[in-house]
Structure 1
């Protein structure tokens, strides 16, 4: 149990929720899934326990992912999930309501922002602040965003890719697209079905992406044995797949992200573009670890591209670090217009 009223940072992701408690670091990382009994509307399980129920429930039980593409798709279930995670990290009863920072994608609307704030307040927050994913990722990557220098961050998560130029603690130019890690897995599954006539599961697609996936051709080709079900015979088969094939499978998806990076650079004010050309572009998120992705963007833009240390947890760390700079968050909403 942690101190009552401790400030909390929450990375509210499409696939998982990470909770950061001030003074303790990341204390919880669980899938954003809730299992509910449809007859009684009672919550049966949340997080990892609920994830194990996905696709294995009887008719009266439904396992729900209450967030889609980084935003709330089921308000009531999101509120209940947040309440459960807050109680799990701070103790059964919240004697003093905590201040909470919640991370949201840069492309969310005012209505979607209000939904996150209301759900968090209803779940037991004293005050709820929002921080946009690129800002959190930049802080987590160790960039000094408070200075009048341009920093470019490319955050590739599970549901969304956020690209932003940051200066003076705020976002100057940004875009958010719904092409990220999940879309890579879907592209691999589709390729295997079309090219090899075999059906593979989500988990196998992810293994292929991690082991031999790439956004750029490797100097030395690598191979992997893949098991799946033949669509003609219906029987299990084992085939050898090359890294070159997976580069081809992911070509369209990675090109969409590279196009988005190019589009943001085109809209960047000249002074900040000059800073970015000198300092380089920083990539964060699990998708940044796709082999050769930094090389692809470097080739496309002509600017050095670096992958942040511990790229996967940059957003969660940044959300937690932002607990110490509430004033910056309060004024960051107004900074977007500074260069317009």
Structure 2
């Protein structure tokens, strides 16, 4: 029996635009950026994946290219996605086993995904070595990861702010009742920061620098209880072409992100308008749940609560709530009706 269990191993994967997480044996075995570095002369040769590939991003020469295979929550580069998944699965077992196991894999996907995009995810997983592939919608996985009983007849609103998309979903009775998905999320926040520094400081910075600014001083409001200190930012002066350094405050970043967060607020209000009244009363009592990396933006829960006049709860570990829920669904794949076989 132990030998049989070895040959069929289970992994749950949150294949995200910004980060990919893998759970194996109830532990987060892999948590890496969704990026792969490839040899231009031999596109099948993977030079690095995850954090090592991210360190190469925007610093490569003509023989190396870095690829982010996912865009807006779906696979944009099929071959790069397959290679990335294959390499990330290898990280589950750093020491290569004598007999590679066959994988039963569950992957979470955006609720707004098309059948063609769904097929691309399934095919990539199968090409990467999965023998059985199950799919689950991200909002259902997030709800399970937070600890919500998704099968009870109670409405819950989940707002999952990922790298490529923000999904606003009302779930009840193990199903999605109404759903809004907009392509405003972490990547858009990063682009907003790059644009603001270019416009107001004539400073050109790269994606990685903008991402670090977002993590260190990113804020959704200018009125924070515990504001972070200003940070130095290095880039290239667009006027002189010479590298320079400026100091940036969290208020500037809050102003840069304002338009994108406003669009998320509008999408939440639109989703609430479509919610049946009985479920709306449940949401009034229980509030809204924030998951995904975007939930870590300082003051976002406070700003949303002021706008929508409802309590907003941030998940305990918003970055891992989706993958944890995917792992729970994988353990009970024959029980939950929303798991797609």
Partner of 2:145: 140
Which residue, 277, 280, 283 being the options, matches 2:290? 283
Residues 88 and 214 from structure 1, CA distance in 2 versus in 1: closer, same or farther, beyond 3 angstroms?
Answer: closer
Offset of 1:288 from its aligned partner? 0.8
Q: Bigger CA drift: 166-175 or 81-90?
A: 81-90
Partner of 2:85: 82
Alpha-carbon distance in structure 2 between the residues aligned to 1:204 and 1:4: 43
User: Could you tell me whether the CA contact under 8 Å between 2:12 and 2:330 is conserved in 1?
Assistant: yes
Offset of 1:106 from its aligned partner? 1.4
Partner of 1:34: 36
Partner of 1:292: 299
Which residue, 72, 80, 94 being the options, matches 2:75? 72
User: Could you tell me whether the CA contact under 8 Å between 1:166 and 1:173 is conserved in 2?
Assistant: yes
Alpha-carbon distance in structure 2 between the residues aligned to 1:267 and 1:258: 15
Partner of 2:18: 15
Q: For residues 111-166 of structure 1, give each alpha carbon's deviation from its aligned partner in whole angstroms, at most 9, with x where no partner exists.
A: 11111112212322222111111111111111111211101111111111111111
Equivalences, count: 331
Q: Report matched runs for 1:10-159 at 5 Å.
A: 10-21=13-24, 23-48=25-50, 49-89=52-92, 91-92=96-97, 96-159=101-164
Residues 4 and 297 from structure 1, CA distance in 2 versus in 1: closer, same or farther, beyond 3 angstroms?
Answer: same
User: Could you tell me whether the CA contact under 8 Å between 2:155 and 2:172 is conserved in 1?
Assistant: yes
Q: Report matched runs for 1:175-186 at 5 Å.
A: 175-186=180-191
Q: Bigger CA drift: 26-35 or 109-118?
A: 26-35
Offset of 1:231 from its aligned partner? 2.3
1:174 maps onto 2:176 in alignment: no
Alpha-carbon distance in structure 2 between the residues aligned to 1:150 and 1:135: 12
Offset of 1:82 from its aligned partner? 2.0
Partner of 1:273: 280
Q: TM (normalized to structure 1)?
A: 0.89
What are structure 1's unaligned runs of at least 5 residues? 334-340
Partner of 1:249: 256
Partner of 2:212: 207
Partner of 2:316: 309
What are structure 2's unaligned runs of at least 5 residues? none
Q: TM (normalized to structure 2)?
A: 0.89
Alpha-carbon distance in structure 2 between the residues aligned to 1:95 and 1:207: 37
Residues 196 and 300 from structure 1, CA distance in 2 versus in 1: closer, same or farther, beyond 3 angstroms?
Answer: same
Residues 150 and 93 from structure 1, CA distance in 2 versus in 1: closer, same or farther, beyond 3 angstroms?
Answer: farther
Residues 41 and 219 from structure 1, CA distance in 2 versus in 1: closer, same or farther, beyond 3 angstroms?
Answer: closer
